Amino acid sequence: MKGIAIGLVVVLAFFFGIPLGLVLIMTTVAAPALGEEYRTQYCEGAIPPTGEWRPPFQQEYTVTSGFGDRFHPIDHEWRLHSGIDLVSLPGPGPVVAASAGRVTFSGWAGSGGNSVSIEHAGGIVTRYHHMANPSSLAVGDPVYSGQQVGMEGTTGSSTGNHLHFEVWVNGEPVDPAPFMLARGAALNGSAVAPSPPPGEGPEPELPEDGEGGIGFELPPPGEPRQASLNNPPTPIPAGIETLYREAAAEYNLPWALLAGIGMEETNHGRNTATSSAGAQGMMQFMPATWASYGVDGNGDGVADIHNDADSAYSAANYLVASGVMDGPQGVRDALWAYNHADWYVNDVLYYAAAYGGGLVLAEGVDCGPGSEVGNPNLPPIDNARVEKMLTFAGNQVGDSYIMGANGPNAWDCSSLTMTALAHIGITSPRTAGAQRDWLAAGNGFRVPVEEAQPGDLLFWDSYLGPNQIGHVALVWDPATKTTIEAANPSLGVGHFSYADNLDNNIFEVWRVGSISDSPKTPAQPMSLTGHAEGH
């Protein structure tokens, strides 16, 4: 039997174009006991909308009928079901445009009920059927990705609330599931946050070499406040503002957040006396904290607690290390770490808002702190799923790297891994740091570097500084320390070595567990709303 298995591996290697050495290594991956798949654990909050395409719902939903020939539930004959049926949870919700375009039909479509058709670039048309009420959109109206086009309903040939969603390419219907998956918008039932109209949402200044393309605004101040009640924000000296801006750019933070701390602590360096607790410098660091997080901001080779540049850069470094990237609550938690007082957190956020607020370049969902090892008792994904994931990623070699891109011909590092996981039925967060936290929260487990296997996820620090994960890659061949990854704008997607990153401040190897958005076993009942319709 072993010889037959190895022969099959050789055939698969030839068929999929995967190096034989890599596939033979894959045979050592332990298969989960009895094919068990556990339910994917989601982070708190809806997935941020990214890229040009998104699911046509904002809320959670289930897929109740797919594309292809089926026995019609009303007319009792076999015919093509030219779309996919989605039922929102817990009840009917808004239907939104899957991408930007222009309305080509809005009205009654016979068996399709109240319907809207939207033409997109490249000969693509999306159709939305069975909506509850006639849409207010008219033929010729432009729509943006995520704009509401109606409400889920049961008009036309339908016996239950649902959305019949179609995709047409050059006049022919195509299966929406792989079409959307290839564009980073898998129809997997996950809630996806509302998309703001153009010009109204945050517009991040994306770094040239990094990942994500996602940002969230600084949270508003709350109550109680203290110093900010009586001390209004003062003008910032030009040289100090330059330091705030440079340090914030280095760590991809809103410079106003550093300005808020500087105002709260020393009025932007106007009062740098050592505090009664022993804090020193413009951003008021305790010497013990400085020993761990103080950095050389001005490049003179010394991290000086009394140097303004070093102080500003160190404040940014400490905020990142304290979780400022972990959603709006992460911002509040990082400020609490800076000074354990609710009034302090709210004072800083008040001043930051006064200085213009801004965008944190990270994912706005909270995956929780997890653990440093994840769930070691979780069996890993089996060889077939590893192969499917790597085959997809390998087929993207030569594609471009574009910050914030979700495919199908351009990616950033985390969208490539996110979509590779989606190809095996797993929904992960969008950014590298959130993907690591998601694994740690119970969707995978950490393994020693020397035990890396094909399909493992590699995380290391990069453009976000030494204390924050900024990059993710998939292990291709651990024997040669080779990855498949969207590396950067100059290299694009390809196979690269991770040997030079082993000495980074952060370098971690994580294995995805045997999880699925729709697990096989242990069985967990899924709530499905039955319906029938005429498409």
In whole angstroms, how large is the CA radius of gyration of the chain? Answer: 26
Q: Where are the beta strands (DSSP E) in 267-365?
A: 359-360
pLDDT in tens, the chain (535 residues): 333 333 333 333 434 454 444 443 444 444 444 468 898 888 877 777 777 899 999 999 999 888 987 666 666 666 778 999 999 999 999 999 999 999 999 999 999 999 999 999 999 999 999 999 989 999 999 999 999 999 999 999 888 999 999 999 999 999 999 999 989 899 988 899 888 888 776 655 555 555 555 778 899 999 999 999 999 999 999 999 999 999 998 888 999 999 999 999 999 999 999 999 999 999 999 999 999 999 999 999 999 999 999 999 999 999 999 989 888 899 999 999 999 999 999 999 999 999 999 988 777 777 876 788 999 999 999 999 999 999 999 999 999 998 878 889 999 999 999 999 999 999 998 889 889 999 999 999 999 999 999 999 999 998 777 888 889 999 999 999 999 999 999 999 999 999 999 999 999 999 999 999 877 654 333 333 333 444 5
Q: Please give the C-alpha separations between residue 99 and each of 50, 143, 233, in angstroms, as whole numbers.
A: 11, 8, 42
Residue 136 burial by CB count (10 A; 0-12/13-18/19+): exposed, middle or buried?
Answer: exposed
Q: How far apart are CA 444 and CA 411, in angstroms?
A: 24
Q: Which of 5, 29, 48 is nearest to 418 (CA)?
A: 48
What is the CATH code of the structural domain delimited by 8-44+366-516? 3.90.1720.10
Per the CB < 8 A criterion, the answer to whether 526 and 435 are in contact is no
- Gap between the Cα atoms of 520 and 213, Å rounded: 34
> What residue has token string 């001043």?
351
Spatial separation of the C-alpha atoms in residues 371 and 391, rounded to whole Å: 30
Class of the CATH domain delimited by 61-181: mainly beta
Give the distance from CA 329 to its chain's centroid: 17
Indicate the length of the chain as a whole number: 535
Establish whether the linkage from the previous residue to 134 is cis, with ω within 30° of 0. Answer: no
pTM of the model: 0.76
Equal fold, 61-181 vs 216-360: no
Q: 3-state SS of 121-140?
A: CCCEEEEEEEECCCCCCCCC
- DSSP assignments along 375-425, one per residue: -TTSPBPPHHHHHHHHHHHHTTTTPEE-TT-BSSSEE-HHHHHHHHHHTTT
User: What does the alpha-carbon distance between residue 320 and residue 362 come to, in Å, rounded to a whole number?
Assistant: 11
Euclidean distance between CA atoms 462 and 470, whole angstroms: 5
Q: Are 346 and 224 in contact (CB under 8 A)?
A: yes
Instruction: Give the burial class of 37: count Cβ atoms within 10 A of its Cβ; 0-12 exposed, 13-18 middle, 19 or more buried.
Output: buried
Tell me the C-alpha distance between 333 and 522, whole Å. Answer: 36
Q: Are 438 and 492 in contact (CB under 8 A)?
A: no
Neighbours of 77 (CB within 10 A): 7
**What is the pLDDT, as a whole number, of residue 203?**
56
- Rounded Cα distance between 54 and 42, Å, is 18
Packed helices 255-266 and 342-354: angle between N→C axes, nearest 10 degrees = 120
Q: Are 430 and 47 in contact (CB under 8 A)?
A: yes
Strand partners for 454: none
First to last CA, the chain: 47
Q: What is the pLDDT of residue 81?
A: 87
Neighbouring C-alpha atoms within 13 Å toward the C-beta of 240: 21
Give the contacts of 354 (CB within 8 A, at least 6 positions apart). 232, 233
Asked whether the beta carbons of 60 and 188 are under 8 A apart, the reply is: no
| Interatomic CA distance for residues 205 and 216, integer angstroms | 12
3-state helix, strand, coil in the chain (%, to 5): 30, 25, 50
Q: How far apart are CA 277 and CA 265, in angstroms?
A: 13
List the structure tokens of 432: 């590298």
Phi, psi dihedral angles at 333 (to 5 degrees): -65, -40
CATH code for 216-360? 1.10.530.10
DSSP code, position 197: P
In 226-375, where do the E strands start and end? 359-360
CA distance 304 to 429: 38
